[in-house]
Amino acid sequence: MAVAPLPSVRRVLEYALTEIPSKKIFLGIPNYGYDWALPYEQGVTRAVSLGNVSAVRLAAATGSEILFDEYSQSPYFYYTDLQRIEHVVWFEDVRSVRGKFQLTAENDLVGCGYWNIMRPFPQNYLMLNNTFDIEKVFRT
């Protein structure tokens, strides 16, 4: 399934807002995706984490069509590896991140933060810069 399906993120945020003032909440935004070998077996199958740019490159390298799940508001694609094992890759793109940005604005949150900022995602940063006033916050 998607890394952070928008309906699930919305439900968690709605609960959080019943316990915490909006001006104390940063919405976490994933900066990664997962590559799952299929078929999925609970407790057996493990995903490989990859960056969003790497996911798009993998789709291009394998000739895969990137699809978009309207319910979760997340992109994904299928491919078959050299050992003939089918995979599904779920990741984030500007379309999926846009929904999370909208949640941040709609709920008057203090902001959003990324997990894992070490992976490049230039399209996201351009959208972020065009959507919000950015402040660097350093906490020790």
In angstroms, the CA 17 to CA 21 distance is 6
Span 57-63, mean pLDDT? 98
Whether residue 140 lies inside any domain: the answer is no
Whether residue 48 lies inside any domain: the answer is yes
Q: Is the pLDDT of residue 2 over 70?
A: yes
The domain total for the chain is 1
Question: The whole model's pTM is what?
Answer: 0.86
Give the HSE-up count for residue 95: Cα atoms under 13 Å, Cβ half-sphere: 12
The CB density around residue 98, as the number of other CB atoms within 10 Å, is 15
* pLDDT recorded at residue 125: 76
In sequence order, the 6+-apart residues with CB closer than 8 A to the CB of 65 are 59, 77
Whether residue 86 lies inside any domain: the answer is yes
Domain range for residue 100? 6-131
**Quick one: tokens of 111?**
């902001």
